[in-house]
């Protein structure tokens, strides 16, 4: 929790409390800040039993209150809610009287004070009103996750949930994320959010987050967005190399004078040096998602035909040649093929949570 509010020129520690009808911030022994909301908040849960995250969605509306589901709480079980800040300062949306929403809204409002204080230095007067919409912004969304809903041995980690969230129109709200427009047109308007967590790859999650932040900040260039997403696929290809490095080294050491064993190890090195081969290994062996990529294959082949290229069957035939084409024609990509390229970007974005959740480095 941030350390203090500034009152009469001095920093003071604070306590956020709820008196049954409104949320207040107690500073120097008195409630000096009221948090404005017309909602009749529920208070049946302890805010400390929840984790909250500040997200952004460019086209969010007050009626875009979403329940959040994930298998880490059981099959299709709810783990929380995504609540637009617009929905916290209005009682005219569809969820305003829902007791479950009002309980999560209570948690979101209590935590919103910390979010505001974490991003803004506030000087409060004798009795101030805190306008969280003005402070956090009309595109802000508070993701509230109930730890009590998660299955034993499972935890929620925003870095691992971000591919799913971005594919449904949500991004991290952070200074380095410059969102100028929506990057998905359909998925963000579903009635709920389904989160699939990426497999645990501690060394790579921060890079995935950085690439996704770059992706959502680059809505004016479909080609640049493509490369941000493709770099995430390349991370998995690099992971394939690291899986086999030790195995190949041990094979060479054990080979002794056996030319056939040495030749086999060298052939394996040659295979791994091929980006096409690594891409096929990611899809067919380590993620096993070939059957889940029909939309990606369809959109890639539409674009390839538009560009005068042959359609492909395997991912190394329909995605990799596009990567090369876009790389070599980045500044001169045909304008009339932009719609098809954006369709490829959308399909690749939708496929990433599948790639990342199913990737299994033990699939030898």
146 and 234 share a domain? no
* 135 within a domain of the structure (yes/no): yes
20 and 150 share a domain? yes
75 and 150 share a domain? yes
What's the predicted TM-score (pTM) here?
Answer: 0.86
* 170 within a domain of the structure (yes/no): no
pLDDT number for residue 188 = 43
11 and 140 share a domain? yes
pLDDT number for residue 186 = 45
Count of alpha carbons within 13 angstroms of residue 256, beta-carbon side: 2
* 193 within a domain of the structure (yes/no): no
364 residues of the chain, pLDDT tens digit each: 444 677 777 777 788 888 877 888 888 778 778 888 999 998 888 888 999 999 999 989 999 999 999 988 765 589 999 999 999 999 999 999 999 999 999 999 999 888 876 555 566 666 678 888 888 889 999 999 999 988 887 889 999 999 999 999 999 998 888 887 778 764 444 678 999 999 887 668 889 999 999 999 988 899 999 999 999 999 998 888 777 766 666 665 666 666 666 666 555 555 666 888 889 889 998 899 988 999 999 999 999 999 999 999 999 999 999 999 999 999 999 999 999 999 999 999 999 999 999 988 665 4
Range of the domain at 285: 222-358
pLDDT number for residue 362 = 65
pLDDT number for residue 213 = 93
d(Cα 215, Cα 166) in Å, to the nearest integer?
Answer: 9
pLDDT number for residue 59 = 84
pLDDT number for residue 356 = 93
* 208 within a domain of the structure (yes/no): no
d(Cα 84, Cα 82) in Å, to the nearest integer?
Answer: 7
Answer whether 134's CB lies under 8 Å from 35's CB.
no
**Phi, psi of 33, rounded to the nearest 5 degrees:** -135, 130
Percent of the chain with pLDDT over 90: 51
Which residues, 6+ apart, have CB-to-CB distance to 52 below 8 Å?
107, 108, 111, 115, 142, 143, 144, 145
* 207 within a domain of the structure (yes/no): no
* 201 within a domain of the structure (yes/no): no
Domains: count for the chain: 2
SS3 123: strand
67 and 141 share a domain? yes
11 and 144 share a domain? yes
pLDDT number for residue 45 = 81
pLDDT number for residue 118 = 58
* 302 within a domain of the structure (yes/no): yes
């Amino acid at each position: 929790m941030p350390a203090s509010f500034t009152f009469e020129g001095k920093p003071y520690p604070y306590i956020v409390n709820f008196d049954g009808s409104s949320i207040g911030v107690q500073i120097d022994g008195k409630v000096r800040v009221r948090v404005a909301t017309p909602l009749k908040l529920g208070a049946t849960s302890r805010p400390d039993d929840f984790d909250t995250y500040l997200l952004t969605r460019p086209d969010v509306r007050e009626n875009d209150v979403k329940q959040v589901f994930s298998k880490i709480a059981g099959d299709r079980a709810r783990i929380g809610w995504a609540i637009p800040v617009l929905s916290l300062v209005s009682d005219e949306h569809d969820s305003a009287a829902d007791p479950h929403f009002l309980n999560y809204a209570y948690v979101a409002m209590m935590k919103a004070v910390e979010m505001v204080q974490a991003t803004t230095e506030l000087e409060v007067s004798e009795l101030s009103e805190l306008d969280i919409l003005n402070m956090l912004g009309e595109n802000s969304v508070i993701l509230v996750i109930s730890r009590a809903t998660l299955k034993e041995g499972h935890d929620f980690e925003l870095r691992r949930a971000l591919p799913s969230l971005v594919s449904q129109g949500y991004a991290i709200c952070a200074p380095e994320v410059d969102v100028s427009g929506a990057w998905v047109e359909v998925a963000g308007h579903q009635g709920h959010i389904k989160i699939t967590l990426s497999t645990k790859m501690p060394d790579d999650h921060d890079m995935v987050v950085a690439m996704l932040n770059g992706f959502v900040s680059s809505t004016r260039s479909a080609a640049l967005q493509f490369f941000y997403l493709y770099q995430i696929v390349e991370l998995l290809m690099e992971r394939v190399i690291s899986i086999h490095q030790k195995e190949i080294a041990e094979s060479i050491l054990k080979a002794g004078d056996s030319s056939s064993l040495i030749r086999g190890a060298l052939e394996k090195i040659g295979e791994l040096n091929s980006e096409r081969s690594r891409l096929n290994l990611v899809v067919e062996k380590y993620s096993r998602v070939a059957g889940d990529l029909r939309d990606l294959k369809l959109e890639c082949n539409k674009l390839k035909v538009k560009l005068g290229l042959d359609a492909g069957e395997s991912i190394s035939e329909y995605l990799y040649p596009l990567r090369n084409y876009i790389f070599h024609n980045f500044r001169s990509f045909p304008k009339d093929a932009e719609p098809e390229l954006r369709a490829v970007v959308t399909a690749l974005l939708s496929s990433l949570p599948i790639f990342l959740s199913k990737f299994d480095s033990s699939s030898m």
